[in-house]
Amino acid sequence: MGIINTTPDSFFERSRKTTITDSIDKAAQMIKEGASIIDIGGQSTKPGSDSISAYEEMERVLPVITAISQKFPEIIISVDTYYSTVAKAAVENGASIVNDISGGQFDSLMMETVANLNVPYICMHIIGNPKTMQDNPQYENITKEVLDYFIEKINTCRQAGIKDVIVDLGFGFGKTIEHNYQLLKSLSLFKMLDCPLLVGISRKGMIYKPLNIGAEDALNGTTVINTIALQNGANILRVHDVKEAVEAVKLLSLYREIDATEGNSSRMSFYENR
């Protein structure tokens, strides 16, 4: 999943695309590099950010969604929004997934709307809101609490009529660096939810802060953590840098296909015949 931010204040500057032409060019690049999904968002949800209205968000994302869906009809488009009105308009204009960082907490009509639209729903975990979420987040047992959250949320989604739920643990949303790594380490436990797992850690503080660098220098670290996430069960990687993520997926797939026992036998045979 490649990220396009139609906003002037996203935390990673190079992901900001404020014109339709720039957005189409970026989508073309991501598709060429192997993206299966393009995620389009109209407002920043970085720590400390202020929210904008549904109307303003709609003005930013709808022209881009329409243009990309018309230019690349084969690509899957996801809309990154917690407003039900934006979700509905986005799907009517070419989007086919709703990506909600709030898990329905910020708009009581979101789940009903997604169910009526009959599209997949990405349900994320967050504490508080983007403005306050990093104000001393605390858990007694983060893995258990986030797992319990999703058991409840998935049940709510099913009762609303949503058929396809994708789970996003919300790395960086109401979590310390240690919390993020605890969740990463226990990611495989979330497979018990029987939903696809989306991981969005691309160039985030959990990567660049421990390395004492900025987001612009966090590509290598992102690839390392994406690889760990894949090994622990991630099904979808939400990234700024599609080429490198696709390479990680391909190489890990090749690694998994190799039969270690067969490889050892081949090497033994090689040495025995020398």
For the chain, give every domain's residue range: 2-272
pTM of the shown model: 0.91
Bridge partners (DSSP) listed for residue 16? 5
172, HSE (Cβ side, Cα atoms, 13 Å): 18
CA quadruple 193, 107, 119, 93: dihedral sign:
negative
pLDDT digits over 92-105, tens only? 999 999 999 999 99
Residues with a catalytic annotation lie at 204, 238
Classify residue 239 by its DSSP letter: B
Q: How confident is the model over 58-95, as pLDDT tens digits?
A: 999 999 999 999 999 999 999 999 999 999 999 999 99
Question: Fold for domain 2-272?
Answer: TIM Barrel (3.20.20)
CA–CA distance, 249 with 255 (Å, rounded to integer): 10
Strands across the sheet with 165-168, in order? 2-5, 37-41, 76-80, 97-100, 121-124, 165-168, 197-199, 236-237
Q: Which two tokens stand for residue 144?
A: 């258990």
Q: What's the rounded mean pLDDT across residues 209-218? A: 96
